[in-house]
Amino acid sequence: MPLRIALLTSEMTPYSKTGGLADVTGALAKHLALAGHEVHAFTPLYQGVDRARFGIGPSVQGIATVTTGSGALVHFIDDPALYARGDLYTDDVDEHLRFIALTRAAFETCRRIGFSPHILHCNDWHTAFGPLLLEAEYSRDPVFAATRSVLTIHNIGYQGSFDARFVGDLGLADLARLHQDDLRAGFVNALKHGILYAHAITTVSPTYAREISTAEYGMGLEETLRDRAGDLTGILNGVDYDEWDPRRDRFLPIHYDEHALGAKAELKRTFLAREGLPFRNGVPLLGIVSRLAVQKGFELLFDTLPPLLAENRVQLVALGSGEARYEDFFAGLARDYPQAARFRAGYDEARAHWIEAASDFFLMPSRYEPCGLNQMYSLRYGTVPIVRRTGGLADSVEHFDRATGRGTGIVFNDFDAPAMAWALTRALTLYADKTAFAQLVRNGMAQDFSWAHQAGEYVALYEQLVGSE
């Protein structure tokens, strides 16, 4: 049975993106629509959205709608007072309101166009009030009487807490459904209300689903999650191979697959030359593309990477922006080791694709990682991921065993410098063993994390919810 799905998200590829949330919601909308479901996505019309490029016409009652190639409809909430700001996310005092407005606009638009969703799928703290608003208000409207809500947690580190003096911004007739202890303590936690009220809660990998139910990873929400353990599942993200595949990557001048790795070597040479780095036979290139946040664990490189660069045993290309201490570290490496390291601060899509293709290894030493996409992209590009065993990294990369020839990457357990150093040494040893390394690369390239499959897991969940009306 085709389902009617309202998908609410604060960012969505290709219109707006700061991280994986955009890739996931963009690809999920597309693959649900391709599977025959009726998908209406709701997202802000930020000032950075390229209206001309995407054929986004004038707004009608504050909404501009486009039909995408897959058949999914995207409704952009056009409110310059809220969304015409420098960045997608701000520290402004009305940050909560910007996304409460998005959530309400989704309900109001469904109502106006007569779209009666089976499923209201909310993502992260931004739209986490959806399930509460559904229960408290909108379910009384026949349009939403049968609607079931899903909250997907992409990152529990961002909860959208705001001062209780702004509670009126929710527009609730009575406050009884809000978390009363928090309210008395003077704040409202958006994500917590999503967990309390969603009919089903998902997160983006099975391991992270287990992790966030513990004090170590739950960021204070572990008890709330444990109370809903029966309704919490982990569904690993997929990869949009239309965008991320070296066989057809539109950012690359030449293409390759597991039978034509010569082109990958050529891309590495081209990229190094472009970066002004020398090509060094037998020296692996390490790649990084990341938000530079505490989550990503780059302090593990502070002491472990400089000696390797100093001795010309590895080269590094890093791309990312975020906290100053990480930006300073990578900028310092580029300054101190001009023959071995490059760093570009900022966001650069083309460069992200080049780094995936040109590198020999990809570094993701995350402190925590709900899913992570770049390790899965790396596998497809024949770029061996070096990851910590946490969250989606644990679920998508298998440590390579030279004895059996099985495994797709280098996986270390502990979040400390010795474990990181061990992983880097392991990488160098494997790289020097041409037969083992070739096997490792081939194993990775044979992995398949396509959305066509992962979207099916969401459909199964939706169907279960609709069936349990």
Instruction: Compute the distance between CA of residue 396 and CA of residue 236 in angstroms, rounded to an integer.
Output: 8
Contact track, ligand GLC, 225-264, x by CB under 6 A = ------------x---------------------------
Stretch that binds ligand GLC, among 18-26, 261-269, 410-418, 460-468 (CB under 6 A): 18-26
Element (H or E) spanning 377, and its range?
A: helix 374-380
Please choose which of ligand GLC, ligand ADP, none residue 289 contacts, taking the beta carbon within 5 to 8 angstroms, the exact cut-off set by kind: ligand ADP
In the complex, least distance from residue 23 CB atom to ligand ADP, rounded to whole angstroms? 5
For residue 297, the partner it binds in ligand ADP, ligand GLC, none, with Cβ less than 5 to 8 A by kind, is none
Do residues 393 and 317 make contact, with C-beta atoms less than 8 angstroms apart?
no
Residue 20 vs 131, nearer CB to ligand ADP: 20
- Complete DSSP assignment for 146-198: T-EEEEEES-TT---EEEGGGGGGG--S--TTS-HHHHHHTEEEHHHHHHHH-
Q: Using alpha carbons, select from 68, 69, 65, 27 the residue that is nearest to residue 45.
A: 65
43 binds ligand GLC (CB under 6 A): no
279 interface partner picked from ligand GLC, ligand ADP, none, CB below 5 to 8 A per type = none
Task: Report, in Å, the least distance between residue 234 CB and ligand GLC.
Answer: 11
Residue with tokens 């799928």: 121
Question: What is the rounded CA–CA span in Å between residue 409 and residue 49?
Answer: 36
Residue 240: name its binding partner from ligand ADP, ligand GLC, none (Cβ under 5 to 8 Å by kind).
none
Residue with tokens 């570094």: 363
List the one residue from 20, 130, 238, 320 that touches ligand GLC (CB under 6 A): 20
Q: CB nearest ligand GLC: which residue?
A: 20
SS3 of residue 361 by DSSP? strand
440, 408 contact by CB (below 8 A) = yes
Least distance CB 294 / ligand GLC (angstroms): 11
Output the DSSP codes for 282-348. Answer: TPPEEEEEEEESGGG-GGGGTTTHHHHHHTTS-EEEEEEEE-HHHHHHHHHHHHH-TTTEEEEES--
Complex with ligand GLC: residue 12 or 333, whichever CB lies closer:
12
Of the pair 284, 287, the CB lying nearest ligand GLC is at 287
Q: What, of ligand GLC, ligand ADP, none, does residue 393 touch, CB below 5 to 8 Å by kind?
A: none
CB of 392 to ligand GLC, least distance (A): 6
Residues that bind ligand ADP (CB under 6 A): 19-21, 23, 289-291, 319-321, 347-349, 352, 371-374
**Smallest distance from the beta carbon of 283 to ligand ADP, in angstroms?**
24
Q: Report the alpha-carbon distance of residue 208 to residue 388 in Å, rounded.
A: 13
74 DSSP β-pair partners? 41, 66
Asked if 19 touches ligand GLC (CB under 6 A), the answer is yes
What's the rounded Cα separation, in Å, for the pair 399 and 411? 5
Per-residue x/- mask for ligand GLC, residues 348 to 377, rule CB under 6 A? ---------------------xxxxx----
CA 82 to each of CA 74, 89, 244, 265, 391: distance values in angstroms, whole numbers, following the listed order: 19, 11, 32, 47, 34
Residues that bind ligand GLC in the complex, under the rule CB under 6 A: 19-21, 24, 154-155, 204, 237, 369-373, 392
